[in-house]
Amino acid sequence: MQAFYSPTRIIAGDGAVAGAAGLIQKFGKTALLVTGKASARVSGALDDVIRVLKANGQDYALFDRVGPNPSVETVFAGAAFSIEHKCDFCIGIGGGSPLDAAKAIAAFAAETPKKEDVFLHIPKIALRLVAIPTTAGTGSEVTQYAILTNDQEETKTSIASDALFPALALLDPRYTVGLSVETTVNTAIDALSHAAEGMLSVKAGEITDALAIDALGLISSRFSALRAGEFTEDDRRALLLAACLAGQVIANTGTTAVHALGYSLTYDRHIDHGRANGLVMGAFLRAVEAKSKRSVARILRAMRLKSTEDFCVLLEDLFGKVSLTDGEVSKYARKAAKTKNMKNLIVSLNEEELSGILTASRAGGAYGKVW
């Protein structure tokens, strides 16, 4: 038996923001716009949102201080900014970092915890949130997670609550057209990891598997484009849809060892989250396959691949290997083994096996460049 919950209203297609003007008008009088410095502007999404707000007669305040891997300090500053400007709803625009920050800001503006309790706090209320992705990867527009940098634990940690689900997700593939090849590849593999890990979760079920298989199929049909670094409008549309589907998967299943290992690569080595996942995912699937061949075979079929080796070759073509010392391998495996992600995996992987995944993922492979 599986319980599936996805309360976010999704509007997808060209002109999604303008098409949702009537819905946005009902959310409140003053919007807090949460973005980074670049993507919301370059993509045209910010201009579209402001145009709709002005036409609706709604005010707004712009908080554009969100950088990659948002910090606790950033979201507290955003919450204070929201309170100062009397914002009664929030619009997050950008990739995973601005959207995750927007969720935390919307929660902390409504109910502010002590800073030392941030990762223990489960928000009960939040400002209503509109999420507008400008990348195709995290699926944050349809999840209840806000991933923040946790300096105390030297990793990234999620805040999770149903209160963080966006009320509305607006998916316009035109906002992803200007993304660099690197960002497009990184975010696509992030979505791929969500779908694959969701199928290997103890919480997986028929509904999430169906969504995951569709997401894997959409992404794998674009493997050639990802390798070539050339993307059509249809590719962009497919990747954005896949990210949204995979986001709904992990909203119900959570993630597993790939994310547990990847967080250390992001925190310590400043490797983009999707790329970090891609660096370890091939060796991870091989490790799981040794204990549950049938489970991995289903994922490979969905990706139209014959073997895990084919998958490893693909990832090495895209990302190469990561340069890690023996000490880093031990440290990252030890940290990953302690995470709740590991209990979410259908097979047991101990610290030694996690070390093996990292060792197999580090420099010395036959393909790609070294990080």
Give the mean pLDDT of 216-235.
98
Q: Please state the pTM of the whole predicted model.
A: 0.95
Q: What is the pLDDT of residue 364?
A: 57
- Contact yes or no for 56/18 (Cβ under 8 A): no
- Give the pLDDT of residue 37: 87
CATH number for the domain including 16?
3.40.50.1970
Domain containing 44: what range?
9-176
pLDDT surpassing 90 at residue 305: yes
Domain assignment of residue 65, yes or no: yes
How confident is the model over 241-251, as a mean pLDDT?
Answer: 98
Whether residues 165 and 262 share a domain: the answer is no
Same structural domain for residues 125 and 273?
Answer: no
Cα Rg of the chain (Å, integer): 20
Q: Return the SS3 of 89.
A: strand
Q: Is the pLDDT of residue 254 over 80?
A: yes
Distance CA 155, CA 148 (A): 9
203-220 exposure pattern, b = at least 16 Cβ within 10 A, e = fewer: ebeeebbebbbbbbbbbb
Distance CA 176, CA 316 (A): 24
Question: For the residues 100-104, what does the mean pLDDT come to?
Answer: 98
Which of 123, 156, 176 is where one domain is finished?
176
In-domain check, residue 31: yes
Range with the lowest mean pLDDT among 13-22, 150-159, 269-278? Answer: 150-159
Do 24 and 169 share a domain, yes or no? Answer: yes
* 171 within domain boundaries: yes
DSSP class per residue in 183-213? HHHHHHHHHHHHHHHHHTBTT--HHHHHHHH
Helix pair 257-269, 351-361: axis angle to 10 deg: 60
**Residue 2 placed within a domain:** no
Question: Is pLDDT above 50 for 368?
Answer: no
Q: Is residue 98 part of a domain?
A: yes
Confidence of residue 97 (pLDDT cuts 50, 70, 90): very high
pLDDT at 367 over 50: no
Query: What are the beta bridge partners of residue 171?
Result: 12
pLDDT for 83 beyond 80: yes
Residue 288 lies in a domain: yes
Higher pLDDT, 145 or 369: 145
Q: How far apart are CA 193 and CA 291, in angstroms?
A: 19
Q: Which of 176, 200, 224 lies at the terminal end of a domain, its last residue?
A: 176
> What is the per-residue pLDDT for 366?
33
Position 2 scores a pLDDT of 81
138 within some domain? yes
Asked whether residue 170 falls in the same domain as residue 241, the answer is no
| pLDDT band, very low/low/confident/very high, at 115 (cuts 50, 70, 90) | confident
Which residues face 71 on adjacent strands?
Answer: 149
Residues 166 and 149 in one domain: yes
pLDDT band at residue 370, thresholds of 50, 70 and 90? very low
| Whether 220 and 138 share a structural domain | no
- Residue pair 321/363 in contact (Cβ under 8 Å)? The answer is yes
Mean pLDDT of 20-36: 98
Separation between Cα atoms, residue 182 and residue 186, nearest integer Å: 6
pLDDT tens profile 117-171: 899 889 999 999 999 999 999 999 999 999 999 999 999 999 999 999 999 999 9
pLDDT at 40: 87
Is 14 found in the same domain as 163?
yes
CB atoms within 10 A of CB 63: 25
In a domain, 113, yes or no: yes
Q: Using CB atoms within 10 A of its CB, is residue 22 exposed (0-12), middle (13-18) or buried (19+)?
A: exposed
H or E segment at 130? strand 128-133
Task: Determine the Cα–Cα distance for residues 353 and 281; give it in Å rounded to an integer.
Answer: 14
Same domain, yes or no: 35 and 168: yes
Sign of dihedral through CA atoms 340, 147, 155, 351?
Answer: positive
The reply to whether 203 and 160 lie within a common domain is no
Domain-terminating residue out of 143, 176, 209: 176
Count, in order, helices (H) and strands (E) of the chain: 17, 8
Measure the CA–CA gap between 139 and 85, rounded to whole angstroms: 29
What's the mean pLDDT when you consider all of the chain? 95
Q: What confidence tens digit (pLDDT) does each residue in 29-48 have?
A: 999 999 998 888 999 999 99
7 pLDDT exceeds 80?
yes
Statement to judge: residues 158 and 121 lie in one domain: yes
Which of these, 198, 355, 145, 189, lies nearest to 261 by C-alpha position?
A: 355
**The total number of structural domains that make up the chain:** 2
Higher-pLDDT residue of 371, 347: 347
The answer on 192 and 108 residing in a single domain is no
Residue 248: is its pLDDT beyond 90?
yes
Residue listed under structure tokens 């040794």: 290
User: Looking at residues 168-180, what average pLDDT do you find?
Assistant: 97
Residues 151 and 284 in one domain: no
Return the CATH number at 212.
1.20.1090.10
Report residue 129 as tokens: 């949130």
